[in-house]
């Protein structure tokens, strides 16, 4: 199932008769559960899961800001409905993600449970929320992290996609920006003409016991005309995740930690950058110059310093040019 095919199926529904309050169309003949696309009397799009007669739920419907789920016991249907058509595109992402996960499930307990869990997991992304706006420096830093995430998802292989998405922990402000099984990654974003990066604490280049640490320095230039916005990169990553059967909700949840949703991310379109290069350094080399918690006296706290990247050539392990 692709986004293009899904769009075509939505147009086909308008030609179908109304049954049980919905115009509906089976999503795919390959899908083992009886999963249907639907449109209600008020033109609201929905996803319908028809349960077998042997499966009776004890479930009360839930309505969130722009998404609802209901159980019609007489027809034995679970219906997940979009309440605001502004979120058409995001609802398609939900449909594709859910379809990919339950398509081959045979156990009705498993796919009914996952259907309900998907509602709970995705409902936050449909809220019209707006927290304090990110500063220009925060947008710049996020741009660098997204650029590195894009590099990882496209170079680690589709079979590792979900693991890579889960590795992006920067938005949670907990430890390093990426956390893999055997190494962590710290990302710093700077202007291309700048020689220095700022290390803002003694923990940013601290290695975890038993793991390596790589420093990714992303160099960018401001370009208001042809540069990329964070929305451009987010949509590219999201589309790649969808087309390669990854879990979009994990990515959207990470963005939400910064107050970002697909409906408000356009507010930062005025910040546009041109990627120039990414240089990767091995921070575990004993000679790598750094002040970290493990190599400074306990009496010294709240360290902040500059690191001159032009003097770190011997520690370079990779370079990506744009």
- Render pLDDT for 235-255 as a digit per residue (tens, 0 to 9): 999 999 998 988 999 999 999
User: Within 10 A of 132 (CB to CB), how many other CB atoms are there?
Assistant: 6
Q: If you search the block for the tokens 């402000």, which residue do you land on?
A: 173
Q: What is the model's pLDDT at position 207? A: 93
For residues 212-231, give the mean pLDDT.
97
Strand duo 77-82 + 67-72: pairing: antiparallel
- Render pLDDT for 262-305 as a digit per residue (tens, 0 to 9): 989 999 999 999 999 999 999 999 999 999 999 999 999 999 99
Q: What is the model's pLDDT at position 22? A: 81
Q: What is the model's pLDDT at position 282? A: 98
Which range has the worst mean pLDDT, 51-55, 105-109, 182-186, 204-208? 51-55
Q: What is the model's pLDDT at position 70? A: 95
Positive or negative, the Cα torsion across 53, 57, 60, 63? negative
Q: What is the model's pLDDT at position 2? A: 85
For residues 170-196, give the mean pLDDT.
95
Q: Write the CA distances from 185 to 71, 76, 252, integer angstroms.
A: 45, 48, 20
Separation between Cα atoms, residue 176 and residue 199, nearest integer Å: 12
Q: How confident is the model at residue 130 (pLDDT cuts 50, 70, 90)?
A: low
Which range has the worst mean pLDDT, 112-116, 159-163, 187-191, 314-318? 159-163
N-term to C-term CA, the chain:
32
Phi, psi of 305 (to 5 degrees): -155, 170
Question: Percent of the chain, pLDDT > 70?
Answer: 98
Separation between Cα atoms, residue 230 and residue 271, nearest integer Å: 8
CA angle 282, 288, 293 (to 5 degrees): 100
Buried b (16+ CB within 10 A) or exposed e, 12-34: ebeeeeeeeebbbbebeeebebb
For residues 133-156, give the mean pLDDT.
95
- Write 60-63 long-range contacts (CB < 8 A, 24+): 62/119
Q: What is the model's pLDDT at position 128? A: 74
Q: Which residues lie below 8 Å from residue 264, measured CB to CB, with a gap of 6+?
A: 129, 130
Domain parsing of the chain, residue ranges: 3-126, 136-321
Whether the predicted pLDDT of 19 surpasses 70: no
Whether the predicted pLDDT of 21 surpasses 80: no
Of 146 and 59, more confident: 146
Q: What is the model's pLDDT at position 28? A: 92
Separation between Cα atoms, residue 129 and residue 274, nearest integer Å: 29
Separation between Cα atoms, residue 214 and residue 202, nearest integer Å: 16
DSSP H or E segment with residue 63:
strand 62-63
Q: What is the model's pLDDT at position 268? A: 96
For residues 35-54, give the mean pLDDT.
91
Judging by beta carbons within 10 Å of its beta carbon (0-12, 13-18, 19+), is residue 202 exposed, middle or buried? Answer: buried
For residues 150-165, give the mean pLDDT.
90
Q: Write the CA distances from 137 to 140, 233, 270, integer angstroms.
A: 5, 17, 13
Separation between Cα atoms, residue 259 and residue 265, nearest integer Å: 9
Whether the predicted pLDDT of 307 surpasses 80: yes
Q: How confident is the model at residue 55 (pLDDT cuts 50, 70, 90)?
A: confident
Q: What is the model's pLDDT at position 102? A: 95
């Amino acid at each position: 199932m692709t986004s293009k095919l899904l769009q075509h199926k939505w147009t086909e529904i308008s030609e179908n008769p109304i049954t049980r309050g919905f115009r509906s169309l089976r999503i795919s003949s390959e899908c083992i559960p009886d999963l249907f696309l639907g449109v209600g009397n008020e033109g609201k799009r929905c996803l319908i899961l028809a349960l077998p007669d042997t499966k009776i739920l004890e479930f009360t419907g839930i309505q969130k800001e722009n998404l609802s789920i209901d159980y019609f016991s007489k027809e034995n249907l679970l219906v997940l409905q979009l309440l605001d058509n502004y979120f058409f595109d995001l609802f398609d992402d939900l449909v594709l993600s859910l379809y990919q996960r339950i398509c081959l499930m045979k156990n009705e307990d498993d796919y009914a449970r996952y259907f309900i869990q998907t509602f709970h997991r995705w409902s936050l992304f449909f809220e019209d929320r707006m927290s304090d706006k990110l500063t220009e420096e925060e947008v710049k830093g996020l741009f660098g992290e997204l650029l590195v995430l894009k590099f990882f998802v496209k170079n680690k292989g589709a079979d590792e996609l979900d693991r890579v998405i889960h590795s992006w922990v920067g938005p949670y402000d907990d430890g390093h920006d990426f956390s893999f099984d055997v190494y962590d990654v710290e990302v710093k974003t700077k202007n291309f003409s700048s020689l220095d990066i700022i290390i803002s604490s003694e923990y940013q280049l601290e290695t975890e016991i038993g793991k390596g640490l790589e420093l990714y320095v992303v160099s960018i230039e401001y370009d208001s005309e042809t540069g990329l916005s964070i929305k451009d990169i987010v949509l590219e990553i999201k589309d790649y995740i969808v087309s390669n059967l990854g879990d979009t909700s994990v990515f959207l949840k990470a963005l939400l930690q910064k107050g970002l949703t697909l409906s408000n991310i356009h507010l930062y379109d005025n910040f546009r950058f041109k990627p120039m290069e990414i240089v990767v350094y091995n921070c575990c080399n004993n000679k790598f110059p750094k002040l970290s918690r493990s190599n400074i006296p306990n009496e010294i706290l709240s360290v902040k310093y500059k690191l001159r990247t032009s003097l770190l050539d011997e520690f370079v392990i990779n370079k990506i040019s744009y």
